[in-house]
Each structure stands twice: as C-alpha cells, then as structure tokens.
Amino acid sequence: MTLLGRLAFAAGALRGLLRPGVAGGAYTEQDADPRERRVPADPRAEALVAALLVLAGLLAAAFGVLIAVDPQTQLLGLTFGLALAALAAALIVAGKRVVVQEIDVEPRKPPDPADDERLVAELRTVGEGISRRRALAGAAGVACAGLAGAVVLPITALGPSLDAAPDKTPWKRGRRLVTPEGRPLRAADLVLGSFASALPEGADKRELGSPVVVVRVDPGTIRLPAARRDWAPQGILAFSQICTHAGCAITLFRYPVDEATSNGPALVCPCHYSTFDVRRAARPIFGPAARALPQLPLAIDASGVLVAAGALSGSVGPSWWGVKS
C-alpha cells in the first residue's frame, strides 16, 4: 500500500471510530444507509476563507513589526493571538463550507491492496466544487509567510545586538578629547598619578559610549598586550567610564605613594567596588566585574592635545547590554 493509501485508510478508520453508530456499533443492511457525499460549491465561503487567511498573515506581520519597533508584551500577545484565531476560523469555515462533505460506511476488514487506486482517486476529488483555488492558495501563502515570520522573529532576540558594537560609539581616529566643560585635554594637563574625565569633541555627551577616564602612570610599569603597546603615549591611558558590571560611572582612581605597602594603580567603581588594573589593560582584579574596561587608543597631536587613535577596544558597559530585549 502506498503512503497516500495508508493515510487515506487511517483517516477513514479514525472517522469510523468517531462517528456514532447503531446499537452494538455495527452497520447492517436493514439500517438506513447513512452514506452521503455533498459538494458545497460556495464562492462566498471561499472568499471568507481567503479573507481570514490574509488577515492572519497581516496580524502575524504586525507581530513582527511590533517586536522590532515597540515590543510591548500585551500588544504582542494580542496580535499573535488574533492571528492564530483568524487562522483557526479560516480552517473551520473551510472544513464546514468549502471542502467536500462526505459520510461513508466502510467494512471493518484489512484493506485490499487493489483498493489503493480507488482511495487515491477519492482523495483527489476533495477539491471538487472549489472555484477560487488560486485566491485560496495565495491567501494561504500570505498566512503561512506571516506566521512563519512571527515564529522566527522572536528567535532573533536571543542573539547579540549589533547596536552595541564598538564602532557605534562616537570615538574614532583623530577625534580630540575634551573636558566636560568642552576644553581640549592636553597631555601636559595630566601629571603622574592624575585622573580626568573626558568626552569626544563634538559628540553627544549623553551617549553611554562617550565618557572615558584618563589616567597617567609611570610608562615603565605599563604591561599592555603587544597590539596595544602604542596606545598609551607618555604613560597616559584612557578607558570607558562605564563599569562592565552594572553600568555605574567609574569616578575613583587609586594611586598609592608606596606600592610596597599597598596595591598598584587602579580604577575603582563606587557602586560595587569593582577594581581595574590600569597598567594591565584595565583587567578586573577585585569585585563583581568580570570583563575589562574597553580601552581607547590615544595619540598626541602637534599642539599637545590628546586625540583618539581609533575606536574603543570593546563594547561599552555590562555584557548583558549587548543582548536584544
């Protein structure tokens, strides 16, 4: 028996089990013959099914748009729920008023392989009476495309957000560092052990990728990776001011007078006391932060002003900021 024939037999058997029968569950020749086959041929029902399918597709598409534009839980639930309701209504109407309605009586015996062709032929007649096949097929395509998008789009929220990439910050090669008051920050303004906050000249101060902390230490003690050896001219280093633990602003700089009785220079977050070793690329050495502060490569221009030699080395703030909401 072919696969199609097996499916037809299974459907018929299930229909027979679910259909109420006479006493004892058996059909006899003396009973009224319940067999009936009706072809609805209802163009209005077909139009209604097509409209419901298109509505389901549009609602599912609206669900995808809301995820990207304004992901409110209530609106997402409403649009997706209405899309499924429209699809269910389309299937109900199609089952009741579009496809062929048939009541049949089948003998309870193993199917004869010779009946395969007859069963396949019967299955091919289910489309009789449907005059708007192309419209229904197109509407079904709209519904399937919309619902597929509604299912797939939420999966994209599990990935990282490209908006959090380092090149989305205002820092780029040649941009001058300025004080919060807008004055250019010169290398000569920083003495050994000093700390200053800086911003990119001309950029929006409110952007989280804008503020950096600038410190100056003994150049001979700096232990940066080989690729960053020229990022700290004259011992001046710059790092993002946003803590990688919870996003607080780093405003403390520890610079001991005698390292024999204290720890080395480090930036400290006042919220949860995450501590970052500035001489070793701001790697965390204490507290809950698990990721180093992104470093800004520096250079000094002809007038002695500090300028960025490139973008920040990593994403600003906590790692979970880079996950789509």
Give the H or E element holding residue 122: helix 116-123
Sign of CA dihedral 167, 235, 260, 250: negative
Candidates 291, 315, 294, 317; CA nearest to 162 is: 315
Residue 21's pLDDT band, with cuts at 50, 70 and 90, is very low
Check whether 142 has a pLDDT greater than 90: no
Tell me the domains of the chain and their CATH numbers: 3-20+27-159 (no CATH), 166-320 (2.102.10.10)
Distance from chain centroid for Cα 233: 41
CB 177 within 8 A of CB 308: yes
Question: What is the structure's pLDDT at 275?
Answer: 96
Rounded CA-CA distance 66/83 in Å is 14
Please state the pTM of the whole predicted model.
0.52
DSSP assignment, residue 243? -
Q: What is the pLDDT of residue 166?
A: 43
pLDDT tens-digit series, residues 35-65: 777 776 778 888 888 899 899 889 888 888 8
> Which of 241, 253, 242, 244 shows the shortest CA–CA distance to 279?
253
Mean pLDDT of the chain: 81
146-197 residue pLDDT tens: 777 777 766 666 555 544 444 478 999 999 999 999 999 999 999 999 999 9
Which H or E run contains 292?
none
pLDDT class of 309 with cuts at 50, 70, 90: very high
91-106 pLDDT, tens digit per residue, is 888 888 887 777 777 7
